[in-house]
Amino acid sequence: MKKLIIYIHFLAAAVALQAQEDVYPAKPYAGKLYITNGTIHVGNGQVIENGTIEVNNGKIVQVGANITVAADAKVVDVKGKQVYPGLILPVTDLGLKEIANGVRGSNDFSELGEYNNSIRSIVAYNTDSKIINTLKANGILLAGVTPQGGTISGSSSVVQLDAWNWEDAAYKTDNAIHLNMPTFISRPSRFAVFAGIPQPPTDPAKEALKKVDEIKTIFRQAKVYLQETTHKETNLKLEALKGLFNKTQKLFVHANQVKQMLIAIDFVKEFGFDVVIVGGSESFQIADLLKQYNIAVILEDEHALPTSEDDDIDQPFKTPAQLQKAGVLFALNDEHAESRYRNLPFNAGTAASYGLTKEQALQAITLNAARILGIDDKTGSLEAGKDANIIISEGDILDMRTSIIVHAFIQGRQVSLENKQKQLYDRYKYKYELK
């Protein structure tokens, strides 16, 4: 049995460079690959001790405890380590936003205009973003790259995080249309709240409902437009909504308030769309209702303060467990702009501390996310027929003490875990003569 170590360490280069230009996307791996002796967390709740994964031409062939390793195949022995499906960051501006504040030129995540139905995030996705490699190093291998701005922001696409360019990266293009639900709470100016200045009486609900009516009108127009076989004039905005009606695309509704989510249910009832709530901080209040309409939820921000002063101090932490109990399909996201999305596994870890089992928490960042994004036929769990998107950790990936990724595979390709930050680490270990 050959043990192959392909962990390439460009130490010398790293000392000279600090811009990750020497971190290369992996070449396709043809043939068989075995990952052996690991504790395999399948992603669907199942755990296989001392198991093996057989991969052929980038696809998982079989997963189990008693798999014979073929001769001459590449073998990665992960004895004592934990094996997981590659993590999925479901909704993100990754590759669209490089330097957040103060550098407008680096921002491509938010477009002008109200109804940008035809805007596509994939065309602006920058595979050379320095953020991407830091996510891979924490086990995140796929991301739903999402546009922002306006009421309808456009369509997101799922990318894999080891690519030369966006066409290579595209994993599922235009998987969802994103809608920002109008707010039913008119937030006062921060100045006014602080200064105790009374706010002019407004009726935010009235404004919101007016906007909702506008949105529904667009969907109704799209419906009749799409029923026509020929058009006198082509309307790109209405064309772009086709996937919602033929169910090749989902409608991702960004909403946190109960009233916003109740309106989202209307989109299921009237148009039959596949609706996913993104945000959902208040979803625990209507979990049963969401379940009834098969509305999935992507919880945006697990590490958040409770909404109101009176809320249970652990409310956001335990929201996943409340959705789980109600049977709602949900995924966890990490949109934390300062740590840049790399703490996704720890969001799941917190959910596991507050009511989910560890395997349920894992599923919320793997298989559930794949289902919601519409890629569960290809990934999300370590099951036969799916892409070999696999990560291997020293220990429990949900706990930062032990969450140290040692190998990662995307479609069977063993990808580099190097990144700019590790290179800078090496550079200064060199300066200080540290090992």
Partner 1 sequence: MRKYCFFPPGKRYFLLGLMYITYLAAKAQVTFPVNGIANPQAKCFAFTNATIVKDVQTTLNNATLVIREGKIVSVGASAAIPKDAVVIDCSGKFIYPSFIDIYGDYGVPVPQRQGPPFDFRAPAQLTSNTKGVFGWNQAIKSEIDAAKLFNTDDAKAKPLRDLGFGAVLTHQKDGIARGTGALVSLATEKENLVMLKERASAHYSLSKGTSTQSYPSSMMGAIALLRQTYLDAQWYKSNPAAEGVNLSLKAWNDNQSLPQIFDAGDKWNDLRADRIGDEFGVQYIIKGGGNEYQRIQDIAATKATYILSLNFPQAMDVEDPNDARFVSLSDMKHWELAPANPAAFEKANIPFCLTASELKDPKQFLANLRKAIEYGLSETKALEALTKTPAIALGVYDKVGSLDAGKVANFIITTGEVFKEKTVILQNWIQGDKYNIKEENWSPIAGTYAIQVKSPAGASNYTLDVKSTSDASIIAKDTIKAKFSYDGKLVTISFPTEKKPRAASIRLGGSVTGDVWNGNGMDADGNPLLWTASLSKAGAPAPDTSKKKMQSPLGKIVYPFNGYGWDSLPKPETILIKNGTVWTNEKEGNLENTDVLIRNGKIAQIGKNLSDANAKVIDATGRYVTPGIIDEHSHIAAASINEGAQSVTSEVRIADNLNPEDINIYRQLSGGVTSSHILHGSANTIGGQTQLIKLRWGANDEDLKFKGADPFIKFALGENVKRTTSQSNNRFPDTRMGVEEVLMDAFTRACEYEKGCKEAPTAAAPASKKKTAVNAAAAPVRRDLELEALVEIMNKKRFITCHSYVQSEITATMRVAEKFNFRVNTFTHILEGYKVADKMKAHGANASTFSDWWAYKTEVQDAIPYNAALMQRVGLNVCINSDDAEMARRLNQEAAKCVKYGGMPEDEAFKTVTLNPAKALHVDDKVGSLKPGKDADVVVWSDHPLSIYAKAEKTIVDGIVYFDRARDLELRKKIAAERNRLVQKMLGEKKSGSPVAPATPSWQVVLSCGDHDHHDGLITVDVNENDANAY
Residues in touch with partner 1 (CB under 8 A): 18, 98-103, 130-131, 184-185, 187-191, 193-196, 201, 256-259, 281-282, 301, 303-310, 312-314, 336-340, 342-343, 346, 349-350, 352-353, 398-401, 403-404, 421-422, 424-425, 428-429, 432, 434
**Nearest residue (CB) to partner 1, 18 versus 46:** 18
- Minimum distance, C-beta of residue 431 to partner 1, in the bound complex (Å): 8
- Residue 158, Cα to own-chain centre: how many angstroms? 8
**Nearest residue (CB) to partner 1, 28 versus 105:** 105
- Minimum distance, C-beta of residue 30 to partner 1, in the bound complex (Å): 34
- Minimum distance, C-beta of residue 69 to partner 1, in the bound complex (Å): 31
Exposed / middle / buried, residue 104 (Cβ in 10 Å: 0-12, 13-18, 19+): exposed
Exposed / middle / buried, residue 382 (Cβ in 10 Å: 0-12, 13-18, 19+): buried
- Minimum distance, C-beta of residue 421 to partner 1, in the bound complex (Å): 4
H-helix or E-strand spanning residue 252: strand 250-255
**Nearest residue (CB) to partner 1, 142 versus 351:** 351
Q: Which two tokens stand for residue 1?
A: 């049995």
**Nearest residue (CB) to partner 1, 167 versus 314:** 314
Q: Which two tokens stand for residue 72?
A: 């001459």
- Minimum distance, C-beta of residue 151 to partner 1, in the bound complex (Å): 19
**Nearest residue (CB) to partner 1, 165 versus 339:** 339
Q: Which two tokens stand for residue 177?
A: 């249309």
- How do strand 152-160 and strand 140-145 relate by DSSP bridges? antiparallel
Exposed / middle / buried, residue 111 (Cβ in 10 Å: 0-12, 13-18, 19+): middle
**Nearest residue (CB) to partner 1, 264 versus 375:** 264
Exposed / middle / buried, residue 117 (Cβ in 10 Å: 0-12, 13-18, 19+): buried
- Minimum distance, C-beta of residue 42 to partner 1, in the bound complex (Å): 22
- Minimum distance, C-beta of residue 158 to partner 1, in the bound complex (Å): 22
**Nearest residue (CB) to partner 1, 302 versus 383:** 302
- Minimum distance, C-beta of residue 156 to partner 1, in the bound complex (Å): 21
Interacting residues of 38 by C-beta distance below 8 A, sequence separation 6+: 50, 51, 52, 53, 78, 79, 81, 82, 83, 392
**Nearest residue (CB) to partner 1, 92 versus 117:** 92
Residue 4: closest CA among 85, 72, 90: 72
- Residue 188, Cα to own-chain centre: how many angstroms? 31
- Minimum distance, C-beta of residue 321 to partner 1, in the bound complex (Å): 14
144/14 Cα distance (integer angstroms): 30
67/107 Cα distance (integer angstroms): 48
**Nearest residue (CB) to partner 1, 115 versus 354:** 354
